[in-house]
Structure 1
Amino acid sequence: MPTAAAADPGGLTGTVLDAMEALGAVGVGLAILVETVVPPIPSEVVLPLSGYLAQTGRMSLVAAFLAATAGSLLGAALLYQLGAWLGPSRSRRMLARLPLVDAADVDRTFAWFERHGRSAVLLGRLVPVVRSFVSVPAGVVRMRMPQFLAYTLIGSAVWNGALIGAGAALGTQHELVERWVGVLDVVLVVGVVLVVGLGVGRRLRRRSSRLEG
C-alpha cells in the first residue's frame, strides 16, 4: 500500500508528512498547526494526502477534518496573540521603516482592517500566505476574539473540508488536488502582487509629483 514516504518531497514538508502518517489524525492537526505558522509547509499537500490516508482506512475522515480544523484555529490564535503583543504603536513604528511606507499608510491599513476585518479573516483563509498572516493584523487591531475565531473556523472548515474530501475522493490520484490548487494559488498570488504593485506605483507617482511641485 502506498505511503506518504513513497511520495516524500524531502525536507521539512517530507518530515511533516511522515509524522502525519505515523500519528494519524493527531499528526494531521500538528501538520496544519505548523503549516499555519510556517507557510512554506503547503496545506495543498498535507490535506489531500490526509484524505487519501483516511480513504485507505488509516485514520477516520471526520477525525482528520476535525484535527486539521483544530490545528488551523490554534495556529491562527497564536498569530493573533503575536499581533496583540505588537499592538498598533509598535506595528506602526516597524512598518513605517519599510520603503515607500509611511505612518499614514499604516493608519489607513489599520482603519480598513477594523472595518473589513471579518471578511479579511474569512476569505484570507483561502489565499496562500495570507492564510497565515491575516491573523496578525486581526490581533493588532484587537478584533474581538470570539468573532475572530468564528470567522477563522468557517474559512478553515471550508478549506480543510474541500481538500481533505477531494483527496479522499481521488484516492491514489490525490496529487491532482495539489496540482490544480497550486494553479489557483498562483493566480491568487499574481492578483495580490498586481494590486500591491499598482499601489506602489501610485505612491511613487504621488511622491514624484510632490518633488516636481
Structure 2
Amino acid sequence: MAEWVQNLMDSMGYLGILLLMILENVFPPIPSELIMPSAGFAASRGDMNIFMVVAMGTLGSVLGTLPLYYVGRAFGEERLVAWADKYGKWLTLSGKDIRKADDWFDRHGAGAVLFGRMVPGIRSLLSLPAGMSEMPLPRFLLYSAIGSGLWASALAGAGYLLGENYDRVEGYIGPASRIILAVVVVAAVVWFLRRKRAQGAKA
C-alpha cells in the first residue's frame, strides 16, 4: 500500500493528499499514519511545501468526516430510540440508554471530537455519534479541523524529520491503534455483561 500511496501523491501532488485523506476517513484500512508521513518525506525532498501538505491533509480529513456525520444525522436519535425500545432487549439496550448516551455526547461531544480525531482506530467513527446527537455542523467542523490539523501536523512533521525512514511512523502507530480498538471492544463487552447482570438481579 505504501507504494500505491506514494505513486498517487507523485502523480496528483496536493490533490492526491486531499483525496487519500478523504478516503482514509471513509475506508479506515487506508491509514493516515502512512499518507501524511509519506507527504512529509516528499516535503523534506523539496517536492512539496510542508505547510501545504498539512493544509491539504487537514482539509481532506475534515471533508472525510462528513459522510458518516450525515449518516448519523439521517438515522437520528429518535429513530434509534424507537429501534432500541423495540429490538434493544436482545442487546440489553433501551431507548433510555440511547438518550443517556446522547446527553453525554451533548456535554462532552466537543472534547470527544477534538481529541478523538487524534486517536487511531476511532477517529473516523466519531462522526456517527456526532451526527446522531445533532451536534451543529459548524461546531463539529471546527473541532474536527483543530484535531485533524494537529494530527496531520504531527504525522507530516514526523515524516519530514525521518526522511527515507518515514514508514517507521506507521510501524509505531499501527500497534497502538490495534490496542486502542481492543480496549474499546473490551469496554463495550464489559458494559454489555454488567447491564445483563444488573437486569438479571432485578428479575
Is TM > 0.5 for Structure 1 vs Structure 2?
yes
**Matching residue of 1:88:** 77
Matching of residues 144-155 of structure 1 within 5 Å: 144-155=136-147
Task: Return 5+ residue gaps in structure 1 as ranges.
Answer: 9-13
CA distance in 2: counterparts of 1:197 and 1:132, whole angstroms: 21
| 1:25–1:60 contact (8 Å) kept in structure 2 | no
**Matching residue of 2:26:** 37
CA distance in 1: counterparts of 2:82 and 2:25, whole angstroms: 26
**Matching residue of 2:41:** 52
CA distance in 2: counterparts of 1:92 and 1:42, whole angstroms: 33
CA distance in 1: counterparts of 2:84 and 2:51, whole angstroms: 41
Considering only aligned residues, what root-mean-square deviation do their CA atoms show, in Å?
1.9
| 1:34–1:41 contact (8 Å) kept in structure 2 | yes
**Matching residue of 2:68:** 79
Matching of residues 94-113 of structure 1 within 5 Å: 94=83, 97=87, 99-113=91-105
- Aligned-residue offset at 1:94: 4.8
CA distance in 1: counterparts of 2:7 and 2:83, whole angstroms: 38
- Aligned-residue offset at 1:138: 1.2
Q: Secondary structure at the match of 1:133?
A: coil
2:174 matches 1:182: yes
- Aligned-residue offset at 1:66: 0.6
Question: Counterpart of 2:80 in structure 1: which amino acid?
Answer: S
2:7 matches 1:18: yes
CA distance in 2: counterparts of 1:95 and 1:125, whole angstroms: 28
CA distance in 1: counterparts of 2:17 and 2:84, whole angstroms: 34
Q: TM-score, normalised by structure 2?
A: 0.89
- Aligned-residue offset at 1:90: 2.3
**Matching residue of 2:51:** 62
**Matching residue of 2:193:** 201
**Aligned in 2, Cα 1:54/1:94: closer, same or farther, shift over 3 Å?**
farther
- Aligned-residue offset at 1:141: 1.7
| 2:121–2:177 contact (8 Å) kept in structure 1 | no
Deviations 1:100-154 (A, max 9, x none): 3222221211111111110111111022332112112112222122211111111
Q: TM-score, normalised by structure 1?
A: 0.85
Question: Counterpart of 1:126 in structure 2: which amino acid?
Answer: M
Question: Counterpart of 1:37 in structure 2: which amino acid?
Answer: V
Percent identity over the alignment is 36
CA distance in 2: counterparts of 1:154 and 1:95, whole angstroms: 34
Q: How many residues align?
A: 200
User: Paired residue for 1:131, among 114, 123, 135?
Assistant: 123
